[in-house]
Structure formats: C-alpha cells, structure tokens
Amino acid sequence: MTWINAIVQGVLVGGLYALFAAGLSLIFGVMRLVNVGHGDLIVAASYLAWSIVHATGLHPLLSLIIVAPVAAVFGYTLQLGILNHTLGKGILPPLLVTFGLSVIIQNGLLQIFTADTRKLDAGALETGSFALLPGVDIGYLPLLMFATAVVVIGALQFLFYSTGLGREFRAVSDDREVAELMGVDERRVYAAAMALSLAVVAVAGVFLAIRSNFDPFMGPGRLIFGFEAVIIGGLGNLWGTLAGGVILGVAQGVGAEIDPGWQVLAGHIAFLLVLAVRPRGLFPRIS
Amino acid sequence: MGEPLLRVEALRASYGDAPALHGVSLELAKGETLALIGANGAGKSTLLKSICGLVGQIEGRILFKGEDIARCPASRIVRLGIALVPEGRRLFPSLSVEENLVLGGKARRPGPWSLESVYALFPVLKERRRQPALAMSGGQQQMCAIGRALMSNPDLLLLDELSLGLAPAIIKDIYELLPRIAGGGGGAILVEQDVMRALATAGRFVCLQEGHVSLQGDPAAHSRDDITRAYFGT
C-alpha cells in the first residue's frame, strides 16, 4: 500500500509540475523562446501573493485575483518591450536576456524580501484530507493543485485550438512571415502568449507558496522541473506536458519511498531515461 | 489612364550583403495582369516580397494607390489591399483548410470574397474544410493558398509560381479560373516559370535579368528571340 500511496501522491504533485511547465510549453510552442527566467517569475509571483496576503489578509488563493492580472500585464510589457527584440537572431539572444532576467529577479527579491524563507498559510485546506483507500489519504491541497492543472491545461488547449487568438498562435508558430502577410502583428501575438504564460505562472506561484517554504533562489529548481515535464511530454503538446509532470512526480514519489535522499535524483533519472528512449519526448507536436 | 495602381520606382533590395534588385521600375494599371518573367535568381520573388513588405533592406519607392508603402510592415500592407500567394503555397500546417482561409480574411477588407464565395470557386475546399491543410493534394493546396489570399479582398494580387509542382491538368484548371480570380477591377502580377503560359495569360510582361528590367511590353509586340535574349541575357 505504501507504493500505491507513493504513486498517487506523485501523480498529484505532478499537477504542480505541470503548472510550472505549462507556461514554458506555451511560450516555446508559439515563439521557440526558452525562458530561463520562468522559475524566477514563479517565485516572484509567490512573493507578490505573499505581500498581498500580508497587506490585505485575503485568503492566499483569492490573492490570485490580483496576482494573475498583474503577472499577465507584466508579461505583455516584458515581451513587447524586451523579449520581442531578442527574437529572430538565433537561439542565443533570448537565452542570454532571460538568464539576465533570472539574475535580476533573484537579486531583486533578495534585496526586497531578504533571504528568509516565507510561506503562505491556507489554513484547513493544507491539512485536510480524505481516505481514498486504507493507507492512501488524498490531501485537499494536492487534489486542488492537480485539478487546477487539468483545468488550466484544458483551458489553454481550448484557447489554442478553438479560438481566433489560438489560430494566430498556431499560425505564427508555423510560419511567422506568412502570418504577417495575413495581417497578423506577430509582436502582439507573442505578447499575448507571454501574458497568458505569466497568468499561469501566477497560479503556479501561489500554489508553490502554499505548499512549501520559498526563498528568492528557488526559481532555477522549479525551472528544471518545468523543463523536464515539457520535454518528457514532448514539445508543443500541452496534455503531454501534464503527462510529463505526472511522470516526474511519480518518479520522485517512488524514489523517495526507496530512500528519501533519492527523491529529486529519481525524477532526473526518469527524465534521462525518457530522453534516451524517446529523444523528442513521449508525445511531440513540434519537431 | 490616371494614376497607376502600383508604381515601383528604382527599387533596390538586398538580403544581408547580397543585392537582389538593382533599381527596378515598373507600373501596373487597375485591372491589368502583368507577367513577371525571368530566370532563377533574377529577382522575381524578391520583387513580390518587397511589394508585400517582407524584405527588410530596400531603397526606392513603392507607390500603391499613390501611397509609398516601401517601409510599411507586411501586416499593414495587406490591409491596404495587397495579397500574395507565396511560392510553395506555404499553408499553415497546424491549421485546418477553413482556418487557413479564415486567417486570410483577418484584414477584414470589404469585397466580394468570403468563405462562401471561395468555396463556390473551389468546391473541393468545402468538402475538406475540417482537414489539416497539408492533408490535401498539391493542387488542392494551391487552391487553398489562392483562396486564402482572396479572403483579404485584395486590390492587387501577387501570384508566385502557381504551377510549381502541379500536374498539367491541374495547372490548366487553375489558369482557366484565373480571370475570375484576378478580375474584379484590381490588378495582378503573375510570376511563372512557364513563360509561354504566363505570356498567354497576361496583357503585358516585365522580364527581369539579374535584378534589372531587361525587357517589357506587350507579349505580342516582341519576338520569341527578343524575349529569350532578355530572359537568359545572351
């Protein structure tokens, strides 16, 4: 039963990893930009939520009403003001600029919030659980995280395949030049994609802050989990990203069951195994 | 005759350090179909791309309905009324046939072309409207690319290598529809490897050779030898 429990808990944690990854997957799919600052943006969202909760006394989840729009506007501006200028000149400029962004965010957070760890308190949500099977308890928080990941990815999927904006996302991803010929302003389409990515980052940041302690230097670790989920699932496939998050979560859960020290390592090993067997991930949409 | 629909003046264009056009001038009247001919690398596609706003480094003027569009972004030029059927069709692979057409209509210019009228012109597209665009045959894809360009209701239609890679019977079908496609008071520029077909279709031709205009005029007024010389530069 402990193994079943490890797997079930791993699946639920996989939802959080999928939330880390969904924004990355979206951005890479639309504009082939690898956002090295993605993890730090998640942590910055955690701090923004923390500040709002402390200033207003709102429930952490309700802080999203403010954090998500602020993050989206920031993403739109960041893309229009900076990241658009790095595109179309090879793979290095966006990597360098987002790496710089990562350094700036980490040190900015350190400056403002010090290196002390923080956490958001979501009250009964964090401790409540129900028994799925004898010995397998499902916590409300992990279940909510997983359900949120499914809803977020379902919504992104709908947006991508059933709306006009999604049509333009796919068109600029296919052929930027011809999309422009149709009257698509790709700078604004990219900015909309980044806004959406950062709205998802806000959700991930709030859950991260409720689930565990966080500090200004947690970003790169979240970025790695996000990357691994995206690549395991296959580039450009959002449901694949959810599957990737779940595989990563289960591998970590099973690893931790063998030996607590193996938790993170087991996730990386699962990632390397997938890369070795299926270099393009399990369900790739983009070659 | 009044103001021409399109007037290109001393146009120079280059990709990086490689110049492709060295001072090309031409005019196109309303309702006219112009054949643009020339050997590979003569600059035909570059000229079409420059008119659409896809070439960054250009000098000279491109006047469309009197307005200089030489430095306009492509996404604005389509709103002014120029549409390109690109070489190799370049349909969006992740969009369905209908989505390709709908995106072609994004500029929302008023005019006769809509999903219904494009489907009436190419009924096979309606049958296949839910399929991915690249699941169709080459000829059907070319119809989709033409339909996509028409959806913006252009005043000037640029057609690049319509017959490339298509079976002769399909090419004939498409050319038979060309008067309906290019008609309607606007103008059209036709780039075609098949020179004889292009000259038979168009009222006037311009021949490019290594980025210069080497010959132009009424196809009937020039001998085949003249045109061959202008084409190959012998």
Give the C-alpha separation, B132 to B90, whole Å: 13
Contact check, Cβ <8 Å, B103/A181:
no
User: Which residue from B82, B48, B13, B27 is spatially nearest to B216, judged by alpha carbons?
Assistant: B27
Interface mutation target, options A178, A184, A286, chain B, most CBs of B under 10 Å: A178
Distance, CA of A259 to CA of A253 (rounded, Å) = 10
User: Model confidence over A135-156: pLDDT tens digits?
Assistant: 889 999 999 999 999 999 999 9
Cβ within 8 Å of A, B 171-200: none
pLDDT digits (tens, 9 = 90+) for B82-129: 999 999 999 999 999 999 999 999 998 999 999 999 999 999 999 999
Report how far residue A234's alpha carbon sits from residue A37's, in angstroms, rounded to the nearest whole number: 21
Task: Tell me the count of A-B CB pairs closer than 8 A.
Answer: 59
Partner residues linked to A65 by β-bridges: none
- Domain ranges within chain B, ordered by starting residue: 1-81+157-234, 88-154
DSSP SS3 for B188 = strand
Q: Is residue B78 pLDDT above 90, yes or no?
A: yes
> Nearest residue of B to residue A172 by CA position?
B92
Task: Tell which CATH architecture fits domain B1-81+157-234.
Answer: 3-Layer(aba) Sandwich (3.40)
- Partners of residue B78 in chain A, C-beta under 8 Å: 181-183
Q: What are the tokens at B138?
A: 């080459």
Residue-wise pLDDT for A44-81, tens only, equals: 999 999 999 999 999 999 999 999 999 999 999 999 99
Q: Is residue A128 part of a domain?
A: no
Each residue of A217-233: pLDDT tens digit?
999 999 999 999 999 99
- Number of domains chain A contains: 1
CB of A178 within 8 Å of any CB in chain B? yes
Q: What range defines the domain where residue A42 resides?
A: 2-114+137-277
A123 within domain boundaries: no
What pLDDT is attached to residue B1? 52
Domain CATH number, residue A196: 1.10.3470
Chain B neighbors of A182, CB-CB under 8 A: 75, 78, 103-104, 106-107, 148, 152
d(CA B45, CA B42): 8
How many other C-beta atoms lie within 10 A of the C-beta of residue B121? 16
Residue A96: what are its φ and ψ, rounded to 5°?
Answer: -65, -45
Has residue A122 been placed in a domain?
Answer: no
Q: Identify which of B73, B94, B106 has the shortest CB distance to residue A182.
A: B106
Percent share of chain A, pLDDT over 70: 99
User: Which of B92, B99, B150 would best serve as a mutation to test chain A binding (most A beta carbons within 10 A)?
Assistant: B92
What is the pLDDT of chain A when averaged over all its residues?
A: 95
- How many other β-carbons are positioned within 10 Å of the β-carbon of residue A132? 13
B219 and chain A in contact, CB less than 8 A: no
Give the CA distances from residue B155 to residues A67, B77, B112, B158, in Å, rounded to whole numbers and listed in that order: 47, 11, 11, 10
Cβ pair B62, B49 in contact under 8 A: no
Q: How many residues are present in chain B?
A: 234
Q: Nearest 10 degrees: CA dihedral of A185, A186, A187, A190?
A: 130
Residue A275: count other Cβ atoms within 10 Å of its Cβ: 14
Strand-pair category, B67-68 with A129-133: unpaired
- Stretches in chain A below the pLDDT threshold 50: none
Asked if the structure places residue A287 within a domain, the reply is no
For B93, the closest of A174, A179, A182 (CB atoms) is A174
Q: Which candidate in A169, A173, A177, A181 is best for mutational testing of the B interface (most B CBs within 10 A)?
A: A181
In a domain, A132, yes or no: no
Q: What percent of chain B has pLDDT over 90?
A: 63
Tell me if the pTM is above 0.80.
yes
Q: Is residue A270 part of a domain?
A: yes
Q: Is B211 on the interface with A (CB under 8 A)?
A: no
Partners of residue A183 in chain B, C-beta under 8 Å: 75, 78-79, 106-107, 152
Q: Helices (DSSP H) in chain B: which residue ranges?
A: 44-52, 74-80, 97-104, 115-121, 123-127, 138-150, 168-182, 195-201, 224-232
Bridge partners (DSSP) of residue B215 are B207
- Are B75 and A185 a contacting pair at CB < 8 A? yes
The residues facing B68 across adjacent strands are B63
pLDDT in tens, B154-187: 999 999 998 888 888 888 888 888 887 876 678 9
pLDDT of residue B41: 84
Query: Which among A182, A185, A186 is the nearest to B103, CB-wise?
Result: A182
pLDDT value for A192: 98
Nearest CA in chain B to A171: B92
Q: Which of B53, B75, B99 sits opposite A184 (nearest CB)?
A: B75
Q: Cβ separation of B74 and A174 shorter than 8 Å?
A: no
